[in-house]
Chain A
Amino acid sequence: MIKFNKFYTQFNIISLVLVIASLALLIFKGLNFGIDFKGGTLIELRSQDNKINVSSLRDNLSQMDLGDISVKKFGSDQDYLIKFENKDEKKNLVEEIKINIDNSFGNNFDFRRVENVGPKVSAELLRSGIIAISVSLAIMLIYIWIRFEWQFSLGAIVALFHDVIITLGLFSLLNLEINLSIIAAVLTIVGYSMNDTVVIFDRVRENLRKYSDIKIFELTNISINETLSRTLITSVTTLLALFSIFFFGGEILKGFSLAMIFGVIFGTYSSIYIANTVLVRLNVSQKTILKEDEKN
């Protein structure tokens, strides 16, 4: 049996530091919102000629007075991603860019993707994204509150916030873009983290009924060990699926799968080291669940 409980305190401190650091990053550095949430224009280009370098393309476009413009390679050597805010909401900018690029580099650019999100829509998308995450957290809270005693719900929710905050903190730290698919990833992380925690809690509760003489500190460790192989196997298969999306699923799904990979790793860690330690600190005992059983 692995003695997970030996490190409860150490890992709690590490997590606390990570959460505080993430919050600090989120407050002071903020998130790198993509055009979905900030508004603006995105163009994905492919050139037939891979001798064109990014800086010449960037120089060419910055002469167009598009405001804050970013030009980057996107995946392969021939693909470029152009983003700018389009503050004045000019209508035919994409056409102007097309003409300009065709004039300067010859007619060998293919416009593979164009996205243009107006300020009103981006504000709405941001709002509905925030609502979606809040609602999902609230519903998870309600679900776990119905299924378990409050100490367990608290443990699960603390773990959930831990995972979401650190994942977003990591996105802020690495300056990765937050777009619609990241919201989907965060919601899936919420579901996954919950799922992992619930399976261990289920076992903790079962063991609480079974053994009246084992303290929660030991009991959580037994439960973690009993469910450990399941926790690991499921995490591994989920990660296998996610890594194959990350490496082979194309550029567009990279951010999504990366967020999910972070989330699965933190979710697995937190269901062992965060959710359980909340039970330990709240000194959950057989009495806690017996009281609840009587009520029913």
Chain B
Amino acid sequence: MLYFSKLRIIFISIISLFFFIIASNNLLDPNNRFFDKKINLGLDLQGGSYLLLEIDNSPVIEQKLQNKSTLIRSYFKDKGIRISNLKLSNDKIKFSVEEKFKQNVIDEFIDENSDINPFYPRFKSHQFDINEVDNFIELTFSKQGLVELKTSSQDQALEIVRRRIDEIGTNEPNILKRGNSRILVELPGLDDPMRIKSLLGKTANLTFRFISTDNQSSFGVEKIEYEDGSNTDFVSKRIILSGDNLLDAQPRMNNQTNETVVSFTLDRVGAKRFGKATASNIGRKLAIVLDGKIISAPVIRDTIASGSGQISGGFTFQSATDLALLLRSGALPAPLNIIEERTVGPDLGQDSIKAGIIALTIGFILVIIYMFMKYKFFGLITNITLITNLIILIGILTLFEVTLTLPGIAGIILTVGMAVDANVLIFERIKEEIKNEKNNIIAFDSGYTKSKTAILDANVTTLLAAVILFFMGSGPIKGFSVTLGVGIFTTLFSVYFIARLFTAIYVSRYKDKEVLI
């Protein structure tokens, strides 16, 4: 165990030097680095906001069912089959058909080439499951159909969230999917997420609809409250324009009224439709409805053919800016709820880094003093190992650009405490061997050999705990498991290569001395 070939010594030196250079990279000026790699600080250390958003898919499901039921009616009408009692309830479409067509209709739904019920060959599943219950045919989303729906609304929502965050312009946001109905947003350096939260919390579903004076409209009406809660009005369900028709929106100052407004430009289709609708409805009130509330309902005084207009509604400059931003970036497919939020201010992050470094330094010094007191010269070897261990650990964290969190720093400190274990096991074993063995080289050699199983077992158990934590833990805790787990490997490397090398050199030089350890 004590023999080292020249090649191996060179190899060990190169590896140690390599990690030393990489580790020192973190201390250099960012413009002057050897590599473009550094340890990333987690949100808890650099400050920032972590938001977990959940998409509320129920309106999307309802909407899809609504569309599907309309489609079903017209689809079978074309085939000469009359669908009756068509109803939506509890995420289900229910309808009945004449007995003689029943099998026909069911076959349409379970055909793999069905137009009305798409088949996903990859998952061997239709979009809808079909059931026959008391003469009714019931359609519910299949598991795969639901997954498909959720993934698509997640994709859309992710895109909109990204646009909104980009519009605000925070640095290096991290926007990721979680599961199939969640979106994770990490915003480093942001200490007040209030504005982003309020922007992400809005669906921004904008529609222009006429207010119905006689509470009637061929499309039906609904009662909608004004934004300020002052009043309600009956609004036609017929949508003249929606947010999709907007090309641009900007906050503006209206010089005549001295009021902040949001001015918008419509696309060609929108402009045409808006011109037509305003021309034939002069004198009526047009409600501008955002997320189920009326912002304002100006009276149409003239045909608006220019394809641009203004929304007023008692805005402050800030709220007009935000509304314009929301309209530019588009509507979310479904409402988002913030189900988890963790925000750390930058000065707390700074304090945490400081505290972590102080704790690491003090822990390190205490362990070094203790080891020196216990083992004298071999304590020094252990301490050199400990230092190289730490350097290699930081080097690896840098190389893989691991995100360092506060618990991650705790993991490094804990590694310092536990890393001496392997050396202690070896040295204690050597002490025992020396009692019965006169030849120092043999005693050292068997000390290394015999302690191997215990060291292996001891490290595997800690590694197992770290691996489980890595897969089960979330956020900062993951950082802890990474440093703890990587620390085990660097410890074994430094104990078996570096400490052993020093020990070997020492023992071969003083092999005839009486007591070595």
Give me the interface of A with B, judged by CB distance under 8 Å.
44, 91-92, 94-95, 110-118, 120-121, 125, 128-129, 131-132, 135-136, 139-140, 143, 147, 180-181, 183-184, 187-188, 190-192, 194-196, 198-199, 202-203, 226-227, 229-230, 233-234, 236-245, 247-250, 252-253, 256-257, 260
Contact = CB atoms under 8 A, between A and B. Distances in A.
Contacts of B473: 132, 180, 183-184
B416 interface: yes
A146 to B, nearest CB: 10
B472 A230 contact: no
Contacts of A256: 407, 410
Interface string B340-359: 11111101100110011011
Contacts of B363: 240-241, 243-245
A135 B313 CA distance: 57
B345 A188 contact: no
Interface centre among A139, A183, A237, A257 (most CB of B within 10 A): A237
Contacts, number: 210
12 contacts: A113-B342, A117-B340, A118-B338, A121-B339, A136-B464, A136-B468, A181-B407, A187-B468, A194-B465, A241-B366, A249-B356, A256-B410
A132 B464 CA distance: 11
A125 B473 CA distance: 9
A20 to B, nearest CB: 26
A191 B485 CA distance: 11
B327 to A, nearest CB: 22
B424 to A, nearest CB: 5
Interface centre among A92, A226, A233 (most CB of B within 10 A): A233
B362 interface: yes
A257 B411 CA distance: 11
Interface centre among A94, A184, A199, A257 (most CB of B within 10 A): A184
Contacts of A117: 339-341
Given A112-B348, A132-B472, A120 B339 contact: yes
Contacts of B351: 250
Given A112-B344, A230-B424, A252 B374 contact: no
Contacts of A113: 342-345, 348
B464 A140 contact: yes
B465 A136 contact: yes
B370 interface: yes
B465 A188 contact: yes
A230 B451 CA distance: 11
Contacts of A241: 363, 366-367, 413-414, 416-418
Contacts of B466: 191
A118 B460 contact: no
Nearest to B382: A237
**Chain B interface size, under 10 / 10 to 19 / 20 to 34 / 35 or more:** 35 or more
Contacts of A249: 355-356, 358-359, 409-410, 413
B29 interface: no
B32 to A, nearest CB: 31
A192 B476 CA distance: 21
A132 B352 contact: no
A140 B480 contact: no
A111 B348 CA distance: 9
Contacts of B477: 180-181, 183-184
B454 interface: yes
Given A132-B468, A241-B414, A192 B407 contact: no
B345 A227 contact: no
A202 B407 CA distance: 32
B340 A118 contact: yes
B407 A233 contact: no
B339 A230 contact: no
Contacts of B464: 136, 139-140, 143, 191
A94 B342 CA distance: 12
A239 B421 CA distance: 12
Q: Give the secondary structure class of B's interface.
A: helix
Contacts of A202: 453-454, 457
A91 B192 CA distance: 15
Nearest to B49: A114
A233 B421 CA distance: 8
Contacts of A243: 363
Nearest to B339: A118
Given A121-B52, A233-B370, 16 more contacts: A114-B343, A116-B338, A116-B341, A136-B464, A147-B457, A184-B473, A195-B458, A195-B461, A199-B454, A199-B458, A240-B363, A241-B413, A244-B363, A249-B413, A250-B351, A260-B414
A244 B369 CA distance: 14
Interface centre among B198, B355, B461, B477 (most CB of A within 10 A): B461
Interface string B191-208: 110100010010000000
A198 B457 contact: yes
Interface centre among B191, B339, B406, B416 (most CB of A within 10 A): B339
Interface centre among A91, A131, A183, A245 (most CB of B within 10 A): A245
Contact of B359 (A116, A129, A229, A248): A248
B410 A128 contact: no
Contacts of A230: 421, 424-425, 428
Contacts of B454: 198-199, 202-203
A195 B201 CA distance: 49
Contact of B366 (A112, A128, A196, A240): A240
Given A194-B461, A195-B462, A233 B424 contact: yes
B212 interface: no
B420 to A, nearest CB: 5
Contacts of A110: 345, 347
A233 B422 CA distance: 11
Given A116-B340, A233-B374, A250-B352, A95 B194 contact: yes
A147 B340 CA distance: 42
B371 interface: yes
B469 interface: yes
Contacts of A125: 474
A265 to B, nearest CB: 14
A250 B481 CA distance: 20
B370 A131 contact: no
